[in-house]
Chains A and B, each alone.
Chain A
């Protein structure tokens, strides 16, 4: 992967130019579906965009220089990591990654959660700290089945290159892994029934409670990008082939991401928030069981 191509992937497709409008679109879809399922009309199409502009234009409370630096630095590094992980996703069959890019992707996907935990503790607000603690506990828990599922893919493909991993594995392994990933998505995206870390009204806004104006706008954008990256990752792994043409691949990728978002949102709108012990038990029982099955299937199928 040469530098020009990586820059193109980072800044244009599936990076910045694709991801930012898509992030707002996904945030809108999520709110709209939830509203429709509750019998409401819901927000209009440009709502997340206007929310972002409004927050950017607010004049935040003055803080010390150090506070300002981390309050902007943390969400910006979350956004950077998310865009970089999008650039790594094997959207095209020709996008030749490098050996071991799977490891880098897994690392980058964890950066936003880490930033949220740091932001919660650094804000010194009790609600931020509670949110950050929950985020940390949950991210340790869901990462066990998540990483096991990824390992199953790598075993099945006998490779840690993302392009191989997305295209080679057998049907059974792929189905189990996609199911595990879909189960992990709600907790990574902090939506119901696993919206524990930003439990709205219960602990105000979790780690972002103390963020205002432009700093909050950056977190909102990071959250939208999380939707794009994680739905995109599920889409990339679920799709066993690539069309070959540039346009067809990106359309199929967007369509599958969209379907993933709808599935996650319907589940979020239909459920209520669990207690943290129940959430952990769910992950260690069901997702972990499915991930272990995937590993066994991958070992037998090779």
Chain B
């Protein structure tokens, strides 16, 4: 059983599947996230895949300051993801609201709605930083798996 738990922990580290949600972003961070999949950065060599359905995903990548219109969708999508899961806030918008802070049109920042695992600041952050942030989230995810398995 211990060996299987170690295997699961390695597998979680090796195969993070991402779901990308634009919560009212200006598309800057979205372009940088998609750039991670391109031949120059190629995150598939780390096992990362961008999946189409939140039910398949391990990591929710949120861009944008969370407008009032996207809040319900954000919560629904987070609820649809199976455990263990992580949330990565890409860019300054989900972290603080950035230039939209204080606007009546936004419901964010993100941490008032969902538990955020990793913040990646920048407007927009570079692909290196996004990959670095997701790698940190993956490490936390794998450790989280270990912790819960120890408790059980």
Does B56 contact A40, Cβ atoms closer than 8 Å? Answer: no
Does A39 contact B39, Cβ atoms closer than 8 Å? Answer: yes
State whether A35 and B11 are in contact (beta carbons under 8 Å apart), knowing that A201-B52, A209-B52, A216-B55 are contacts in the complex: no
Does A58 contact B82, Cβ atoms closer than 8 Å? Answer: yes
Size bracket, chain B contacts = 20 to 34
A212 interface neighbour in B39, B42, B82, Cβ under 8 Å: B82
Does A61 contact B8, Cβ atoms closer than 8 Å? Answer: no
Q: Is B145 positioned at the interface, with any CB of A under 8 Å from its CB?
A: yes
Does A59 contact B52, Cβ atoms closer than 8 Å? Answer: no
B14 interface neighbour in A41, A46, A204, Cβ under 8 Å: A46
A residues contacting the other copy or chain, number (CB 8 A): 33
What CA separation (Å) do A230 and B53 show in the bound complex? 27
Q: Is A42 positioned at the interface, with any CB of B under 8 Å from its CB?
A: yes
B10 interface neighbour in A50, A127, A201, A209, Cβ under 8 Å: A50
What CA separation (Å) do A43 and B43 show in the bound complex? 9
On chain A, the residues within 8 Å of B84 by CB distance are 58-59
Q: Is B44 positioned at the interface, with any CB of A under 8 Å from its CB?
A: yes
Q: Is B28 positioned at the interface, with any CB of A under 8 Å from its CB?
A: no
On chain A, the residues within 8 Å of B47 by CB distance are 43-44, 47, 50-51
Does B58 contact A205, Cβ atoms closer than 8 Å? Answer: no
What CA separation (Å) do A201 and B18 show in the bound complex? 13
Those of B51-104 within 8 Å (CB) of chain A: 51-53, 55-56, 58, 80-84
Rank and list the top 3 A-B pairs by shortest CB-CB distance, nearest first: A204-B52, A212-B55, A53-B11
Residues of chain B at the chain A interface (Cβ within 8 Å): 7-8, 10-12, 14-15, 39, 42, 44-45, 47, 51-53, 55-56, 58, 80-84, 145
Residues of chain A at the chain B interface (Cβ within 8 Å): 31, 35, 38-44, 46-47, 50-51, 53-54, 57-61, 127, 200-201, 203-205, 208-213, 216
Q: With A53-B8, A54-B12, A60-B82 given, can you name 11 additional A-B contacts, CB distance below 8 Å?
A: A38-B39, A40-B39, A40-B44, A42-B42, A50-B10, A51-B15, A54-B14, A59-B82, A59-B84, A205-B53, A209-B52
